[in-house]
Structure 1
Amino acid sequence: MNERTDLTELAELRDLFADKPHPTADRLAPARAALLAEAGTKRRPRTRMRMRMRMRPVGLRRLVLAGGLVAAMTAGVIAVQTFNPSAPASAAEVLRLAADAATATPWPQPRDDQYLHYERIAETRSENGVPHVGPRHITGQVWQSVDGSRPGLLWHKPSKSRPQDREYKELLTRCPERGAGRPAYADLREWPTDQEQLRHKLAERGNQRVAGKDAATQTWNGVVSVLASPVPPQLQAAIFKIAATLPGIETEELKDATGKSGIAVTRVDNRGPGGAISRESLIFDKTSYVLLGGQELVPGQGRELWSITRPQITDVLPAWSKSVKRTGCL
């Protein structure tokens, strides 16, 4: 090994990264998520690359290898575990990656007087001959008032698989006599992201959904309930981090209500008839870890799938909403 050559290569490596900012947690998260997404794609043949590396000068080859190592360290990970059905990643790791993805591309902050416009798809299926359950498929365009002070709007469209279904439009109005109901988006912006305070809020929400359960089950029920509609990105990330700490979670491969296959984090519970085991899941994109939707499988009650799209922000409801009458309330 030539000492002068080695010193020259080290100087080149130093100069190459001299103007690069030092890595911080904020800088590492997007790069780490991108590296994990890239690792999920099909690997390219390596034979040709090895031949090219052999043909390069020794100093340049060392520099390239060193640069690759620095890039991996900057991304915050060197060895990457990708999901496949035979060797799934841990459920906790999937949720931590989902927390990173939630804040990677946040949407603009809406004003209280605006609406969130998104698509929600729900499908109910019979499971093992359960009577009086499905199949039912709802594709809904939703306009949700940000602060909940104005009626929202639902446009139910027949699905391609069930064109015979009835199309209808209805106003979504809150009923004071039914209590607070689900928190409005503006309310969720005020929720704490501190882990202990948020854990308490989620357990409180979960207890309203199914009372009399242990703290972990109440918290999980609160997680699923809140995430079924748009949630501010920072809060969504904090919720995923709490879910990652809960016992009894596991991974599996599931399809969402659109038929897209994803990696699911599932928690089992004895909420079925007579204490039968039920399975409730959150489904994520396999490469980006963005939340796609969820599934609930309860013995004796069938299987329900749901999916939700990224919301858009709009100032007003469609003009045709003026002719829509209130048929019920939330």
Structure 2
Amino acid sequence: MNELTDLTELRDLFADKPHPTADRLAPARTALLAEARTQRRPRARAAGLRRLMLAGGLVAAMTAGVIAVQTFNASAPASAAEVLRLAAAAATETPWPEPRDDQYLHYERIAETRAEKGVPNVGPRHITGEIWESVDGSRPELWWHKPSKSRPQGPEYKELRTRCPGRGGPAYADLRGWPTDQEQLRHKLAERGNELHRNKDAAAAVWSGAVGILGTPVPPKLQEAIFTIAATLPGIETEELKDATGKSGIAVTRVDGRFRESLIFDKTSYVLLGGQELALGRGRELWSVTRPQITDVLPAGSTSLKRRGCR
């Protein structure tokens, strides 16, 4: 057989078949990507069949009068839901040790608030903080504020903070007690989402709760459960965003009215890098959180610092 004969036979084979659409191609694409990730060398016959199938798809597009060219990275996820499923797996692949209640989580949090075009009286605000967070929230926490890369002339200082009852997010030890059962956790996330933004529908409240909770370290098993639930929510989409450090990642975004909330993941490992919250009329905040280390005590000399009271 020569190439001309091949194309003629393929044209006849697919002449009476429906034209490919995104909905029809999505399952095949997902299966093909899943097979590519196994990194097994296909046998010659299978490879030849795959080329025949791809050629058939091209001929079907040609008979429709257009040629649609799409290039895919073999390791790229097929959908926002798949990104979140990969993130769920990544959360437990390299978990950190389980801390005791009397220990501290030591990590860095970077946040940057930017005014959007036409938004008055917003920022910019830049926070680069090295944090020693009390696992059970019962001890003063150390925040070391440092100049950000975008504002190297900014102030640097340390302060001890007291966790205020009923304010801020739950302590790490509290999160450790959250259920990983899907229905129970969905309810907890919706409660948290409604605390942050009132008058949201159920899906929007769950998504907002997830974004809000993940702004600080979360136990790996709970992260896995949160990402698994988030993958089932309607209205999620992927885009490319940079986190607060300037690193480009793959983001999963959900839009609800004037709120656009995103989680940003590493493009290769799918480890959570940070997130973005964009609200019309209020500007944009980017944040990132590093993987925590576990320590027994605060750095030397920090206990002599003036303690900031609960406000």
Tell me which interval the TM-score lies in, with the shorter structure as reference length: 0.7 to 0.9
Aligned to 1:55: none
- Indicate how the Cα distance of structure 1 residues 125 and 114 shifts in structure 2: closer, same or farther if over 3 A, else same: same
SS at 1:241's partner residue?
Answer: helix
Q: State which of 132, 148, 154 in structure 2 corresponds to 1:143.
A: 132
Counterparts of 1:299 and 1:266, CA distance in 2: 15
Structure-1 residue corresponding to 2:243 = 256
In 1: Cα distance, 2:41 partner to 2:186 partner: 46
| Aligned 8 A contact 1:267 1:281 in 2 | yes
> C-alpha offsets along residues 190-223 of structure 1, whole Å, 9 cap, x if unaligned?
1111101110111111111112211111111110
**1:107-132: CA deviation from partner (whole Å, max 9, x where unpaired):** 00111110000000001111114222
Kept after mapping to 2: 8 A contact 1:95/1:240: yes
TM-score using structure 1 length: 0.71
**Which among 101, 120, 124 is matched to residue 131 of structure 1?**
120
One-letter amino acid of the counterpart of residue 265, structure 1: V
State how 1:2-151 maps to structure 2 within 5 Å.
Answer: 36=37, 81-83=74-76, 89-151=78-140
Distance 1:245 1:316, change over 3 A: same
1:15 counterpart residue number: none
Give SS of 1:240's match: helix
SS at match of 2:180: coil
1:197 is the counterpart of 2:184? yes
Partner residue in 1 for 2:50: none
Tell me, yes or no, if structure 1 residue 152 matches structure 2 residue 141: yes
CA distance in 2, matches of 1:89, 1:280: 20
* Alpha-carbon distance in structure 1 between the residues aligned to 2:115 and 2:244: 14
Counterpart-to-counterpart distance in 2, 1:305 and 1:181: 18
**d(CA) in 1 for partners of 2:42, 2:210:** 43
The 1:215–1:322 alpha-carbon spacing in structure 2 relative to 1, beyond 3 Å, is same
| Aligned-pair CA distance for 1:81 | 4.7
CA distance in 1, matches of 2:239, 2:42: 36
Is the CA contact (8 Å cut-off) linking 2:162 and 2:308 kept in structure 1? no
The alignment partner of 1:247 has SS state of coil
1:322 aligns with 2:300: no
- Equivalent runs, 1:271-282 vs 2, <5 Å: 277-282=258-263
Q: Aligned equivalents of 1:186 and 1:244: distance in 2?
A: 25
The structural deviation recorded for 1:315 is 0.2
Asked if 2 retains the 8 angstrom alpha-carbon contact of 1:252 and 1:266, the reply is: yes
Partner residue of 1:168 out of 157, 161, 173: 157
1:270-290 deviation line (CA, Å, top 9, x unaligned):
2xxxxxx22110000001000
Cα deviation, 1:56-84, whole Å, max 9, x if unaligned, reads xxxxxxx9756xx9xxxxxxxxx98544x
Is the CA contact (8 Å cut-off) linking 1:151 and 1:172 kept in structure 2? yes
Report the residue type matching 1:153 in the other structure. L
Check conservation: 2:107, 2:290, Cα contact below 8 A.
yes
**Judging changes above 3 Å, is the alpha-carbon distance between structure 1 residues 163 and 90 closer, same or farther for their aligned structure 2 residues?**
same
Q: Which moved more, 1:92-101 or 1:162-171?
A: 162-171
Q: Gapped runs of 5+ residues in structure 1? A: 1-31, 40-62, 70-78, 271-276
Q: Which amino acid aligns with 1:236?
A: Q
Superposition RMSD on alpha carbons, in Å? Answer: 2.5
Q: In the alignment, which residue of structure 2 is the partner of 1:229?
A: 216
Tell me if the contact between 1:82 and 1:89 (Cα under 8 Å) persists in the aligned partners.
no
Q: Quick one: distance in 1 between partners of 2:156 and 2:310? A: 19
- Aligned-residue sequence identity (percent) comes to 76
Matched, 1:218 2:199: no
Residue deviations 1:278-328, cap 9 Å, x none?
211000000100000000111111111000000000000011212211234
Shift of 1:225: 1.0
* Distance (Å, rounded) in 2 between the aligned partners of 1:204 and 1:65: 48
Distance 1:181 1:296, change over 3 A: closer
Query: Contact (CA 8 Å) 2:162, 2:309: kept in 1 or not?
Result: yes
Q: Deviations over 1:108-167 (max 9, x none)?
A: 011111000000000111111422222222110010001111111100000232122111
SS in structure 2 of the partner of residue 319 of structure 1: coil
* Structure 1 stretch displaced more, 236-245 or 211-220: 211-220
Alignment partner of 1:295 is 2:276: yes
For 1:81 and 1:245, locate their aligned partners in 2 and report how far apart those are by CA, in whole Å. 23
The corresponding residue for 2:292 is: 311
Q: Match for 1:269: what amino acid?
A: D
Runs of 4+, deviation exceeding 3 Å: 63-66, 79-83
Which SS does the other structure have where 1:187 is aligned? helix
Distance 1:81 1:215, change over 3 A: farther
